[in-house]
Structure formats: C-alpha cells, structure tokens
C-alpha cells in the first residue's frame, strides 16, 4: 500500500451516464486532502460512453483519471461497476469505507 500512500482516489458515481454532483464535490475536497498529503488526486470513472465525464474530472482537480468504459457497464449493471471498484481497491490494498446518502443509497469510499 506504500505505493498508493499519498494518492487520493475518488470514484465518480453516475447514473445513465450522468455524474452525481456529490462526486465533483468529493473531487474538490479530495484535492485539498491530496495537497495536505503532498500527494496526487485521481478519479475513477466506470460506465458506458463516459469519456466526457472522465474529462470533466480534471476541471475539479484530478491529475489522472482511470477510465473503464465499456457497453457492458450500462445503467442496469451497477453490480458490475461495484465489482470493478472493489477490484481496483483490492489491487491498491485499500479498505473501503461505507458511505450513506449517495445516489444509489449506499456506496463506499476509501
């Protein structure tokens, strides 16, 4: 996990290709946290036809974006998106933290 110790990763929540406003708010807060850690801010965008959303994350301070864009990640396949997020967390060896009050009801953060 040392490799990722100073990185702040924000998952961009979306529904039907529209990003949740809270995701951009989190990016702005993540920018401040990354600066305090003397680290970097990265966004993770998973969905179908999400290139524009990925580009938007740079306007909110992301230095890098991990984009997983595939037609299989349409709005009905939220479980696959969550599985992909967990795979990323596993590779980072980070622990997810449950978060309430997001677009889909419950989600997780790192």
Residue 79 DSSP SS3: helix
SS3 at position 8: strand
Q: What integer pLDDT is reported at residue 54 of this predicted model?
A: 95
Domain limits of the chain? 2-93
Q: What angle do CA 43, 45, 47 make, to 5 degrees?
A: 175
Q: Which CATH architecture has domain 2-93?
A: 3-Layer(aba) Sandwich (3.40)
User: Taking the chain (110 residues) in consecutive chunks of 10 residues, what is each chunk's mean pLDDT?
Assistant: 72 84 90 90 89 95 92 65 70 53 47
Residue 4 has what pLDDT?
A: 58
Helix (H, G, I), strand (E, B) or coil at 102: strand
């Amino acid at each position: 996990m040392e490799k990722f110790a100073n990185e702040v990763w924000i998952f961009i929540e979306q529904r039907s290709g529209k990003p949740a406003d809270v995701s951009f708010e989190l990016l702005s807060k993540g920018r401040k946290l990354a600066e305090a850690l003397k680290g970097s801010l990265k966004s993770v965008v998973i969905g179908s036809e999400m290139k524009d959303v990925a580009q938007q994350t740079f306007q909110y301070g992301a230095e890098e974006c991990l984009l997983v864009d595939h037609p299989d990640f349409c709005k009905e396949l939220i479980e696959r998106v969550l599985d992909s997020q967990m795979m990323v967390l596993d590779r980072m060896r980070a622990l997810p933290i449950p978060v309430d009050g997001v677009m889909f009801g419950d989600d997780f953060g790192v």
